Amino acid sequence: MKTKLFEIRDEGTFMPAMATLAKGDDRQEQYLLLSSGFGHVSPLVILHFLELNETYYDVYRWGDRTRFTAHRYIQENWEKLKSGDVVDVEYILGETTEPKMSQRAEKIGGYCLD
């Protein structure tokens, strides 16, 4: 199993998320995933939005374009993405020509993170 953190962005939206690739590293993990019904999607990414305390493995459960698009993109591009990357939904959907940058350099609560 491997976990990465992402900054999900959309129009006026910033959502920190944690994604886990549910792929058994050994026979016991593989058995537990398969016996729980997680053997049908590959790769299987479980996405957790930190500020919402919501978690799904099924991209269609989100019910909105931001979370659905981000989850699908992360699942389809897992190997290319690194922890901390910005996942820009507007850019993914072709609504903008340049991807958004991270908000980490902005002041948050009076503190500058960079």
Amino acid at position 9, single letter: R
Instruction: Give the start-to-end residue ranges of the domains of the chain.
Output: 2-112
Give the model's pLDDT for residue 82.
97
Q: C-alpha distances in angstroms, 20 versus 40, 46, 50, 102?
A: 16, 5, 13, 21
Give the model's pLDDT for residue 44.
87
The model's pTM is 0.84
Give the model's pLDDT for residue 38.
72
Nearest CA to 87 among 24, 78, 59? 78
Residuewise pLDDT in 10s, the chain (114 residues): 899 999 999 999 999 999 999 887 788 887 888 887 776 666 789 999 999 889 998 899 999 999 999 999 999 999 999 999 999 999 999 999 999 989 876 656 555 555
How many C-beta atoms surround the C-beta of residue 105 within 10 A? 10
SS (H, E, C) 47-99: EEECCCCEEECCHHHCCCHHHHHHHHHHHHCCCCCCCCCEEEHHHHCCCCCCC
Give the model's pLDDT for residue 56.
92
